[in-house]
Amino acid sequence: MKFSWKTVLLWTLPALVIGFFLWQGSFATAPANMGRNAASTRMTYGRFLEYLDANRVVSVDLYEGGRTAIVEAVDPELDNRLQRLRVDLPGNAPELLTRLRTAKINFNVHPVRNDGAIWGLLGNLVFPLLLIGGLFLLFRRSSNIPGGPGQAMNFGKSRARFQMEAKTGVMFDDVAGIDEAKEELQEVVSFLKKPEKFTAVGARIPKGVLLVGPPGTGKTLLAKAIAGEAGVPFFSISGSEFVEMFVGVGASRVRDLFKKAKENAPCIVFIDEIDAVGRQRGAGIGGGNDEREQTLNQLLTEMDGFEGNTGVIIIAATNRPDVLDAALLRPGRFDRQVTVDAPDIKGRLEVLNVHARNKKLAPEISLDAIARRTPGFSGADLANLLNEAAILTARRRKDAITMAEIDDAVDRVVAGMEGTPLVDSKSKRLIAYHEIGHAIIGTLVKGHDPVQKVTLIPRGQARGLTWFMPSDDQSLISRAQILARITGALGGRAAEEVIFGDAEVTTGAGNDLQQVTNMARQMVTRFGMSNLGPLSLESQQGEVFLGRDWLTRSDYSEEIAARIDAQVRSIVEHCYDDARQIIRDNREVIDRLVDLLIEKETIDGEEFRQIVAEYTDIPEKERYTPQL
């Protein structure tokens, strides 16, 4: 059983205090100057007088001002042996001394010592001293605890982690897939190392660099690389560490941070998740958060105010640049905004090469094939993918990672954990037709991504899955490609209706219908791909920012809103008709594929296309092209 220092202290202090007072009380109750031979046997005052009359008393020692006597007397009951007895004398017995002189008995009067007053004074001082000492130990111990009571006077100090020479273990060579961002930030490092190269032509050091991008793309990793490359003092702090419940604490911490930074200039200050403190001012209904706004005002002043911050470079990261205050984004504060986006296929290959350094890969592993299979993956997603594959390899007791582990890891990262295989039933056959419906349309419709595999193995909430593999990273998507995706997404519902009838359609197409409606609406309201013409009727922003978008008026009338709904419905219905027609025209190959899928549970994309080619020999350029 373990005891903490607090428990020991809480039990020890009261025990010491109680023990001291008990000891003091017992000491005070005994005569302070009776010596070691004080008698323990008592005698009454009347019996003492009887002994005195019988001449049995040999000597008397008087203590405590005549209130106590130690008497040596001869006891006839003990063969006249000498015995020491203690007698409590009455306070008003002045005749006792006269009788002792008359009887010629030796007696001594011992003066009263003032030890009681000394011990009383010490007793009154010991408890306060013990209490003060215990509190001192408590505060000293808690001063090492972040936010403890010992730091009550330091809550206004900056909590930034400081490194004179940041040894993060990360260099620019360890950051892959974001070459444009690296190039921008390498200039900052060069400026810190060789400022004369830039100042010679009149260039000034940038005051701030804002890293913007989705989560997991490597913003914090870039900051670590800058710290490792620059070789200058490095401060790192999170935006949420500025704001506290006490008004003025955030602004005080900002001042303290920049004071320390100026003392160590040139240096780098990295603020992660700056949107926690840098949101637009006045964004609250009926006034904003005064503490956060005071913190932001102080940050704006320190970055580019009256005094300036020469030699201090601020690097901040956020994935919500839309909510940042405009004053924070202007040149002079954040001179550069570096977009750290998800890597393209070349970038993904570079990221995979970095994270595969410490992995044991089988010879047949192709990182290029993995990069093609993972469009939209961020650097963190790719690192997690290889780690999941390594875990599966260890679980299966293999010596190296194979493509089987890579495939399962991709499926797990994208769709979730593998579930229990379906039993043969009507439900399993219906799910098989649903997935084959997606795959057959994806194969026969021009402009659709090719099928990678079709499986009946449940993952996450999905009872079956159809995977498509984009041929390349598509930053621009044509109208025909969007219509092809809408038609492919409706293939599952179309197969259910054509094969089993309208009464047997299931809820399995719920997620497909959400995607279809979203794509069709974006065609009408954002991309100008409808009969309404080239109009952008809705912004790309999806989240409402309180105070800015809460009372935003619609950009179009109710009549246009009704026409938008009609156009969305027209697009979806047209694509649904096309999907049902394709299912009817290819019923024979669909039935064969369903039987094969139920038997094998997974069909590879290449095998799928070979079977389809036996029944429908249609060249790529003559495939069905969806049109409105």
375 marked among binding-site residues: no
213 marked among binding-site residues: yes
434 marked among binding-site residues: yes
Q: What is the token pair recorded at 294?
A: 């005071």
Q: Inter-axis angle of helices 558-585 and 510-525, to 10 degrees? A: 130
220 marked among binding-site residues: yes
DSSP string, 9-32: HHHHHHHHHHHHHHHHHHHHHS-T
Element (H, E) at 301: helix 290-303
Of 570, 607, 571, the closest CA to residue 589 belongs to 607
Separation CA 206–CA 226 (nearest Å): 14
**Type of residue at 276:** A
Contacts of 403 (CB under 8 A, 6+ apart): 362, 364, 365, 366, 369
Of 468, 455, 388, the closest CA to residue 421 belongs to 455
Yes or no: say if 190 and 355 are a contact pair by the CB < 8 Å rule.
Answer: no
Strand ranges in 340-409 using DSSP code E only, listed in sequence order: none
288 marked among binding-site residues: no
110 marked among binding-site residues: no
DSSP state of 531: T
DSSP string, 183-202: HHHHHHHHHHH-HHHHHTTT
**Residues with active-site annotation:** 435
Taking 3-state DSSP, the helix, strand and coil percentages for the chain, each rounded to the nearest 5, stand at 50, 15, 35
Burial of 210 (0-12, 13-18, 19+ CB in 10 A): buried
Q: What is the token pair recorded at 199?
A: 């100042």
Task: Map residue 288 onto helix, strand or coil.
Answer: coil
Peptide bond into 266 cis (omega under 30): yes
**Bridging pattern class, strands 312-318 and 602-604:** unpaired
168 marked among binding-site residues: no
219 marked among binding-site residues: yes
448 marked among binding-site residues: no
DSSP string, 93-161: -THHHHHHHHTT-EEEEPPPP-HHHHHHHHHHHHHHHHHHHHHHHHHHHHTTSTT-GGGGGGTTS---E
User: Which residues are annotated as part of the binding site?
Assistant: 213-220, 434, 438, 512
Give the residue ranges of the annotated binding site for ATP: 213-220
State the binding site for Zn(2+): 434, 438, 512
